[in-house]
Chains A and B, each alone.
Chain A
Amino acid sequence: MNLYVLVASFLASSVEFIEALSIVLAAGVVYGFRFALRGAIYAVITLGLLVAVLGEGILRIVPLHILQGIVGVLLLLFGLKWIRKAILRYAGLKSLHDEDEAYQKQISRLKSSNKGSFEAQATAYNGVLLEGLEVVVIILTIGSGAHAFGSAIAGAAVGLIVVLSLGVAFRAPLARVPENTLKFVVGVMLTSFGTYWAGQSMGIRWPLSDATLLLLIAGYIIVSAMSVRILKKGGVGAS
């Protein structure tokens, strides 16, 4: 079991599960949970098929070092996107992502529609499929890069269980979970993994081997904190 992979996968997929849960809850509250859950289940089946087809099969075709390079670049881009968003949000340049607000918007959109159960089912399906697709990317990239599919899947599964338990317990869009902070942490982790693997495939010999990841994580946290400070000092207002 690879602990780094497990934690990264857990954090990254939890964020996506929270967003998917908000959409399913919104659809369920308006039209009943039967239709919303049916849409969610169809989406989970679609995603399961995707992982089954794209998962282990890749490792049999593509050599590990090439896969690490491709995966590293994708993770780096994915992580940088999240870090950038988090920095801009902390600096007040981008409005904070509010799951509660997103949930209310989803409910009013569904209420204004007359398509009924199909709308609820389709909304839940689309929401779970889109957010789940990101989870699939996370599992495939982290799992194949470290040759640790088991740990990546386990991390995502724990994330799913935790988010579902919270969802059942609170029956609310989990606004209490500090999603922006979680996204920032995930962004830092993905960027660090991406830097490490992409760099390794470009010929870098990391001095401390896997432990370099901890240095990269610390480094990106410092860089992000400095960026937020610079932006705040610049006196930029929220948009």
Chain B
Amino acid sequence: MTFKKWVKKVYGLFVEDSLLAALSLLALAVVFLISHIGLSRSAGLILFILISVSIVLSVLRA
């Protein structure tokens, strides 16, 4: 198995919809900023909301 194929296989193990993966990573980046400006307690709720919205968006465009 070539390296490229192996990378593809590993990628496929974690990602099916690249939009959903990208949005969830973006959500993590957003809460990283939010929690570092002193809102570390509300950041949890924001993360949950952002990921939930990402799920809905992902399935709606399927």
Which residues in A have some Cβ–Cβ distance to B below 8 Å?
Answer: 73-74, 76-78, 80-81, 83-85, 87-88, 91, 93-94, 133-134, 137, 191, 195, 198-199, 202-207, 212, 216, 219-220, 223-224, 226-227, 230-231
Q: How many residues of B are in contact with the other chain, CB < 8 A? A: 29
Q: Out of B41, B47, B59, B60, which one reaches A195, CB within 8 Å?
A: B47
SS of A interface (majority): helix
Q: Given the complex of chains A and B, what is the CA–CA distance between A23 and B17 in angstroms?
A: 26
A-B CB pair tally, cutoff 8 Å: 99
Q: Which A-chain residue is minimally distant from B25 (CB atoms)? A: A73
Could you say which residues of chain B place their CB within 8 Å of the CB of A76?
Answer: 24, 28, 51
Query: From residue B23, how far is it (CB to closest CB) to chain A in Å?
Result: 9
Q: Given the complex of chains A and B, what is the CA–CA distance between A81 and B62 in angstroms?
A: 13
Q: Does B26 belong to the interface (CB within 8 Å)?
A: no
Could you say which residues of chain B place their CB within 8 Å of the CB of A223?
Answer: 52, 55-56
Query: From residue A79, how far is it (CB to closest CB) to chain B in Å?
Result: 10
Additional pairs, 7, CB under 8 Å, beyond known A93-B62, A230-B56: A78-B13, A80-B51, A84-B17, A134-B13, A199-B43, A202-B32, A226-B56
Q: Given the complex of chains A and B, what is the CA–CA distance between A224 and B47 in angstroms?
A: 16
Query: From residue B61, how far is it (CB to closest CB) to chain A in Å?
Result: 11
